[in-house]
Structure 1
Amino acid sequence: MPSRSSARLAALTVAAVCGAASAVVLTSPAHADSVRVHDVQGTTRISPFAGQKVTDVPGIVTATRTYGSSKGFWLQDPDPDDDPATSEGVFVFTSSTPKVAVGDSVTVTGTVTEYVPGGASSGNQSLTEITKPAVTTVSTGNAVPAPTVIDADSVPDAYTPQGDSAAAGSVNGLTLDPSAYALDYYESLEGMNVQVADVRVVTATDPYSELWVTVKPGEHRSRRGGTVYGSYTSQNTGRLQIQSLGATADFPQVNVGDTLKGSTTGPLDFNQYGGYTLVASRLGTPADGGLERETTRRQARGELAVATYNVENLDPSDATFDRHAAAIVNHLRSPDIVSLEEIQDDNGAKDDGTVDADRTVTKLIDAIVAAGGPTYDWRSVNPVNDQDGGEPGGNIRQVFLFNPERVSFVDRAGGGPTTAVGVTKVHGKARLTASPGRIDPANAAWSNSRKPLAGEFSFRGETVFVIANHLNSKGGDQGLTSQYQPPVRSSEVQRHAQATVVNAFVKDILSVQKNADVIALGDMNDFEFSGTARILEGDGELWSAIESLPRNERYTYDYQGNQQVLDQILISPAIRRGGDFEYDSVHINSEFRDQISDHDPQVLRFRP
Structure 2
Amino acid sequence: MCALTAAALTSTLLITSAGAASHEPTADEVRIHDVQGSTRISPLAGEEVREVAGIVTGVRGEGSRGFWIQDEEPDDDPATSEGVFVYTGKEAPAVLVGDRVRVSGTVAEYRPDGEDSGNQSLTQITAPEVTVDSSGNELPDPVRLDARRIPRAYAPKGGGEGGVEDRELRPRAFALDLYESLEGMNVEVRDSRVVGPSTSYGELWVTVTPRENPSARGGSVYGSYRDQNAGRLKIKSLADPDENPFPAADTGDRLTGRTEGPLDYDEFGGYTLAAAELGKVERRGLERERTRPQRRDELAVATYNVENLHPGNDAEKFERLARGIARDLAAPDIVALEEIQDNNGPEDDGETAADRTLETLIEAIVDAGGPRYEWRGIDPEDKADGGEPGGNIRTAFLFNPERVTAEDRPGGDATTPTAVERRDGRASLTLSPGRVDPADEAWEDSRKPLAAQFAFRGEPVIVVANHFSSKGGDEPLHGRFQPPNRVSETQRLAQAESVNSFVRDALKIDRKAQIVVLGDINDFEFSGTTKALTAGGALRSTAYALPRDERYTYVFQGNSQILDQTLVSPAIRRYDYDIVHTNAEFADQISDHDPQVLRFRP
TM-score (structure 2 length as normaliser): 0.96
Match of 1:116 among 111, 118, 123: 111
Aligned match of 2:4 = none
- The separation in 1 between residues aligned to 2:8 and 2:31, in whole angstroms, is 26
Confirm or deny that 1:186 pairs with 2:183: no
The offset of 1:429, in angstroms, is 1.0
Aligned match of 2:79 = 85
Confirm or deny that 1:106 pairs with 2:109: no
Confirm or deny that 1:128 pairs with 2:127: no
- The separation in 2 between residues aligned to 1:14 and 1:75, in whole angstroms, is 21
Match of 1:53 among 48, 53, 61: 48
- The separation in 2 between residues aligned to 1:141 and 1:469, in whole angstroms, is 59
Aligned match of 1:276 = 271
Q: 1:47 to 1:437 in 2, by over 3 A?
A: same
The offset of 1:12, in angstroms, is 5.5
The offset of 1:25, in angstroms, is 11
SS at match of 1:510: helix
TM-score (structure 1 length as normaliser): 0.95
Confirm or deny that 1:605 pairs with 2:599: yes
The offset of 1:8, in angstroms, is 9.8
SS at match of 2:536: coil
1:473-512 alignment to 2 at 5 Å? 473-512=470-509
Q: 1:25 to 1:328 in 2, by over 3 A?
A: farther
Aligned match of 2:67 = 73
- The separation in 2 between residues aligned to 1:30 and 1:449, in whole angstroms, is 55
- The separation in 1 between residues aligned to 2:299 and 2:19, in whole angstroms, is 62
Aligned match of 1:21 = none
The offset of 1:10, in angstroms, is 2.2
Retained in 1: the 8 A contact 2:213–2:221?
A: yes
- The separation in 1 between residues aligned to 2:355 and 2:340, in whole angstroms, is 10
The offset of 1:9, in angstroms, is 5.8
Match of 1:264 among 259, 264, 279: 259
Q: Which deviations, in whole Å up to 9, do the C-alpha atoms of 1:60-89 show, x marking residues without a partner?
A: 011111111x11110100111111100000
The offset of 1:511, in angstroms, is 0.5
Q: 1:25 to 1:468 in 2, by over 3 A?
A: farther
Aligned match of 1:592 = 586
Confirm or deny that 1:354 pairs with 2:351: yes
The offset of 1:56, in angstroms, is 1.1
- The separation in 2 between residues aligned to 1:142 and 1:198, in whole angstroms, is 27
The offset of 1:94, in angstroms, is 1.1
Aligned match of 2:308 = 313
- The separation in 2 between residues aligned to 1:25 and 1:79, in whole angstroms, is 27
Equivalent position amino acid for 2:104 in 1: T
The offset of 1:248, in angstroms, is 2.3
Confirm or deny that 1:208 pairs with 2:201: yes
- The separation in 1 between residues aligned to 2:533 and 2:595, in whole angstroms, is 20
Structure 2 residue runs of 5 or longer lacking an equivalent are: 1-6
Aligned match of 1:97 = 92
- Structure 1's consecutive aligned runs of 4 or more residues displaced over 3 angstroms after TM superposition are 12-15, 24-27, 29-33
The offset of 1:296, in angstroms, is 0.2
SS at match of 2:460: strand
1:186-265 alignment to 2 at 5 Å? 186-249=179-242, 250-265=245-260
Match of 1:423 among 420, 438, 455: 420
Retained in 2: the 8 A contact 1:203–1:255?
A: yes
Retained in 2: the 8 A contact 1:169–1:485?
A: no
SS at match of 1:573: coil
Q: 1:125 to 1:415 in 2, by over 3 A?
A: same
Q: 1:8 to 1:116 in 2, by over 3 A?
A: farther
- The separation in 2 between residues aligned to 1:398 and 1:119, in whole angstroms, is 34
Count of aligned pairs between the two proteins: 589
SS at match of 1:255: coil
Aligned match of 1:540 = 537
Aligned match of 1:3 = none
The offset of 1:455, in angstroms, is 0.3
SS at match of 1:170: coil
Retained in 2: the 8 A contact 1:590–1:597?
A: yes
SS at match of 1:79: coil
SS at match of 2:537: coil
SS at match of 1:60: strand
Equivalent position amino acid for 1:558 in 2: V
Equivalent position amino acid for 2:281 in 1: P
1:316-465 alignment to 2 at 5 Å? 316-319=311-314, 320-465=317-462
Match of 2:294 among 288, 293, 299: 299
SS at match of 2:572: helix
Match of 2:576 among 571, 578, 582: 582
SS at match of 1:57: strand
Compute the RMSD of aligned alpha carbons.
Answer: 1.7
